[in-house]
């Protein structure tokens, strides 16, 4: 575009899972400008601060521009030959499970598709996991337990049509700002609409909430069990829906009724009055959407939380109709696309189940592959544990920075240091992870990449290039395809471009799909390059067929679940056992995002405007705790436990509850203010989803 002033390119924002449409343009001096795409159904022209500052993040300072082998510039041929040789020799000597890929919700669907195909269908291991494990694995597991498929039943429009929007474990105002703006606008236009925020912190999202429930960390299972009992006791069960389309209601209800009021108040930290107020609001609103995000997912009971929420919706038939449904919003731009093509270690491509022999055989037939992984691979935390134990001999990390973002981050760093062979594909030359790479591969960044992403409402949109590839940077899918070809799989990885990969993926979703699988975009199976370039955003499914009715906005109003008996499953859950505080620890540490930064700030850190909002790491502390510890606002504090310590600035605010502190995840060892908070987080995971509990760590807090 730098050579074509005036040209406008429609693309998609690379940050959160809202997936806003962006129009990029340049002036005669080649300066890029961005604005919201008024025609994109996710945002209708809106952008948040991060999206509107995208043009400020496109310079090439700090970019990785050339392949390197052991710190020396190398040719692509030499680098790819080295990767293929080291992976092949590890597999020959130690078997396919001795290698692994750790990928990212930043990858495009086409990148993800090739990575998954190479690992599961040709190497023959399922050791491919993604940083999306940290983002929404509990939602995936909860969906699959309840629906028999990883299906998000609703659409963003439901958040505007609802009588009540419940936001639980979600600081939508900062983490999904355009969705927040859409709800705020709907509420302003229809004041009868209500919003409830369930969050230990009184975040900025509380500004539109009619009720804020300052729930105790991990109190969500109990809260929604209490709601299910209330639904039953108040005669709100949709008996016809439950009878026709579900199973397991009585058992789930019995589990809910086993939780008495005293346990409810103890688990949730809420008063009986607060509980009753919430339950009455939920019961009185015919149209309810319950939105959940990392506060639900990033927990040792994350999957149970998701199912406790879904149980309430299927008990009342409040699902799949306009303005109703449980709604998982994902953190990353392509967490959805990644899981659709099998980017998680426990799933196959096109939402198929790795533990289902028929699905495995089907995928292998489609790929004509020599082998297919026959059991789930290592999930993120276990994968790096295997690296530390020497079980992984070759590891390829793409577009993510696990040394900063995984729990027990120092142990992750030590594991990488000891790993015999580490490849990192990234756009950035210096990160806490890439410094441990034996081979560095330069990838394309936003504005250079070509492919698709799927947002939180199942909408597939194009990310289109509008900048030339810098240096020798190449697409991630190309890098993996080249390695696949060098490993002997020439025909299977002979892609000409991203459109060819998308065609193959679309064909796979429709392959032998008689309607028993939710994900079908067979209408795109023969898309040509021109149509791919012109592809408008659409929601899946989009099977081969006639007319607009092919694309469905919603699922399950009339049942039709993807379980064996086509019924939704009530999952019987119980509140987690209250853990005893670690010796000496007196605070619960919560981690998360701030409004204007993204992950480890490799892009947003380039924008002075974005950095002006919050310039350094902080610990949010309640005034009572600050008084007791003699901590002044903006002074330095030490947050510590037996894993290590960080030093950050105190931000004293009543938005935080006593006994809790919040530290953002963004500031790492790369930044002047080093606050690599994940070094403090224990590698505790949800037993079903494998998602780490990043929001509940026992720590001490002292003046520095």
Identified binder of ligand SF4 from the candidate list 50, 143, 462, 567, rule CB under 6 A: 50
**Phi-psi region at 317: left, alpha or beta (left = phi > 0; alpha = psi -120 to 50):** left
Smaller CB separation from ligand SF4, 118 or 453? 453
The mark string for 149-168 relative to ligand SF4 (x by CB under 6 A, - otherwise) is --------------------
Antiparallel, parallel or unpaired: β 164-168 and 288-292: parallel
701 touches ligand SF4 (CB under 6 A): no
Does 446 bind ligand SF4 (CB under 6 A)? Our answer is: no
The residue (of 131 and 268) whose beta carbon lies closer to ligand SF4 is 131
Does residue number 19 form part of the binding site for ligand SF4 (CB under 6 A)? Answer: yes
Other CB atoms within a 10 A radius of the CB of residue 353 amount to 18
Residue 41 binds ligand SF4 (CB under 6 A): no
Between 23 and 350, name the residue whose CB sits nearer to ligand SF4.
23
Selected from 178, 354, 387, 693, the binder of ligand SF4 by CB under 6 A is 178
Residue nearest to ligand SF4 (CB): 51
> Please, which residue, 51 or 269, has the CB nearer to ligand SF4?
51
The verdict on 398 binding ligand SF4 (CB under 6 A) reads no
Residue 333 Cβ vs ligand SF4, minimum distance, rounded to whole Å: 7
Total residues contacting ligand SF4 (rule CB under 6 A)? 14
List Cα–Cα distances, 537 to 387, 460, 462, 497, 531, in angstroms. 39, 5, 7, 20, 12
556 near ligand SF4 (CB under 6 A): no
Residue 47 as a binder of ligand SF4 (CB under 6 A): the answer is yes
Q: What is the DSSP string of 633-659?
A: TT-EEEEEETTEEEEEEEEE-TTSPTT
Determine contact, residues 261/272, Cβ cutoff 8 Å. Answer: yes
Is 610 one of the binding residues for ligand SF4 (CB under 6 A)? Answer: no
Smallest separation, CB 591 to ligand SF4 (Å): 19
- Smallest gap, in angstroms, from Cβ of residue 69 to ligand SF4? 35
Q: Where are the alpha helices (DSSP H) in 164-271?
A: 172-175, 177-189, 220-233, 239-245, 249-257, 261-268
Segment contacting ligand SF4 by CB under 6 A, of 174-182, 224-232, 521-529, 625-633:
174-182
DSSP letter assigned to residue 122: I
- b/e map of 433-456 (b: 16 or more CB within 10 Å)? bbbbbbbbbbbbbbbbbbbbbbbb
Using CB under 6 A, which of the segments 78-86, 173-181, 403-411, 512-520 binds ligand SF4?
173-181
Dist. CA 86–CA 122, nearest whole Å = 16
The answer to whether 196 touches 210, Cβ cutoff 8 Å, is: yes
Question: Do residues 341 and 110 lie in contact, with contact meaning Cβ atoms separated by under 8 Å?
Answer: no
Of 18 and 198, which CB lies nearer to ligand SF4 in the complex structure?
A: 18
* DSSP sequence for 123-192: I----EEEGGGGTTHHHHHHHHHHHSS------HHHHHH-SEEEEES--HHHHSHHHHHHHHHHHHH-TT
Query: How far apart are alpha carbons 494 and 308 in whole angstroms?
Result: 46
Residue 337 lies near ligand SF4 (rule: CB under 6 A):
no
Minimum distance from residue 52 beta carbon to ligand SF4 (Å): 7
Is residue 21 part of the contact set for ligand SF4 (CB under 6 A)?
no
Look up tokens 């993800």; give the residue: 112
First vs last C-alpha separation in the chain: 50
Considering the rule CB under 6 A, would residue 537 count as an interface residue with ligand SF4? no
Q: Does 13 bind ligand SF4 (CB under 6 A)?
A: yes
Residues near ligand SF4, by CB under 6 A = 13, 15-16, 18-20, 43, 47-48, 50-51, 176-178
């Amino acid at each position: 575009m730098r050579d074509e002033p005036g040209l406008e390119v429609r693309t998609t924002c690379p940050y959160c899972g809202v997936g806003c449409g962006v129009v990029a343009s340049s002036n005669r001096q080649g300066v890029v400008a961005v604005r919201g795409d008024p025609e994109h159904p996710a945002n209708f022209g809106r952008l948040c601060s991060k999206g509107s500052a995208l043009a400020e993040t496109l310079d090439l300072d700090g970019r990785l521009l050339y392949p390197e082998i052991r710190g020396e510039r190398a040719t692509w041929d030499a680098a790819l030959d080295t990767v293929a040789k080291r992976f092949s020799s590890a597999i020959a000597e130690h078997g396919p499970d001795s290698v692994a890929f750790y990928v990212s919700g930043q990858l495009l669907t086409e990148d993800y598709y090739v990575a998954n195909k190479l690992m599961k269908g040709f190497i023959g291991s399922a050791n491919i996991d993604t940083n999306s494990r940290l983002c929404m694995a509990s939602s995936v597991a909860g969906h699959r337990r309840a629906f028999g498929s990883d299906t998000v039943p609703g659409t963003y429009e439901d958040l505007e049509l609802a009588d009540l929007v419940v936001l639980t474990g979600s600081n939508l105002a900062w983490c999904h700002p355009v969705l927040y703006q859409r709800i705020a606008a709907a509420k302003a236009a229809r004041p009868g609409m209500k919003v409830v925020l369930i969050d230990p912190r009184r975040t900025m999202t509380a500004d539109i909430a009619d009720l804020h429930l300052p729930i105790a960390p991990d109190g969500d299972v109990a809260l929604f069990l209490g709601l299910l009992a209330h639904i039953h006791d108040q005669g709100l069960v949709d008996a016809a829906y439950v009878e026709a389309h579900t199973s397991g209601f009585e058992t789930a209800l019995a589990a809910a009724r086993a939780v008495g009021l005293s346990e409810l108040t103890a688990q949730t930290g809420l008063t009986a009055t607060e509980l009753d107020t919430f339950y009455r609001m939920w019961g009185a609103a015919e149209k309810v959407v319950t939105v959940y995000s990392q506060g639900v997912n990033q927990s040792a009971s994350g999957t149970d939380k998701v199912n406790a929420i879904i149980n309430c919706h299927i008990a009342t038939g409040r699902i799949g109709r306009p303005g109703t449904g449980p709604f998982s919003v994902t953190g990353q731009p392509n967490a959805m696309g990644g899981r659709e093509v099998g980017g998680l270690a426990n799933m196959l491509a096109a939402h198929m189940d790795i533990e289902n022999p028929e699905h495995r055989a089907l995928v292998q037939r489609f790929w004509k592959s020599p082998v297919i992984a026959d059991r789930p691979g290592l999930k993120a935390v276990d994968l790096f544990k295997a690296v530390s134990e020497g079980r992984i001999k070759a590891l390829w990390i793409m577009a993510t920075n696990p040394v900063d973002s995984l729990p027990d981050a120092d142990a992750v760093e030590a594991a990488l240091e000891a790993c015999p062979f580490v490849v990192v594909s990234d756009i950035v030359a210096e990160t806490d992870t890439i410094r441990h790479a034996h081979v560095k591969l330069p990838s394309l960044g936003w504005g250079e990449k070509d492919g698709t992403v799927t947002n939180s409402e199942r909408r597939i949109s194009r990310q289109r290039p509008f900048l030339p590839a810098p240096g020798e940077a190449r697409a991630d899918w190309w890098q993996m395809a080249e390695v696949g070809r060098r490993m002997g799989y020439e025909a299977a990885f002979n892609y000409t471009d991203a459109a060819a990969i998308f065609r193959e993926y679309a064909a796979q979703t429709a392959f032998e799909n008689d309607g028993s699988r939710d994900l079908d975009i067979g209408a795109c199976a023969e898309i040509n390059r021109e149509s791919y370039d012109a592809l408008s955003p659409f929601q899946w499914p989009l099977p081969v067929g006639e007319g607009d009715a092919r694309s469905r906005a919603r699922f399950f109003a009339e049942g039709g679940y993807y379980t064996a008996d086509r019924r939704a499953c009530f999952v019987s859950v119980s509140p987690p056992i209250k853990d005893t505080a670690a010796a000496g620890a007196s605070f619960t540490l919560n981690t998360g995002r701030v409004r204007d930064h993204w992950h480890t700030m490799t892009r947003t850190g380039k924008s002075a405007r974005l950095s002006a909002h919050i310039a350094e790491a902080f610990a949010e502390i309640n005034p009572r705790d600050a008084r007791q510890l003699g901590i002044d606002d903006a002074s330095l504090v030490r947050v510590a436990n037996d894993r290590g310590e960080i030093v950050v600035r105190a931000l004293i605010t009543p938005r935080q509850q006593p006994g809790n502190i919040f530290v953002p995840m963004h500031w790492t060892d790369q930044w002047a203010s080093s606050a690599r908070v994940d070094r403090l987080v224990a590698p505790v995971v949800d037993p079903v989803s494998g998602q780490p509990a990043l929001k509940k760590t026992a720590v001490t807090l002292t003046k520095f």
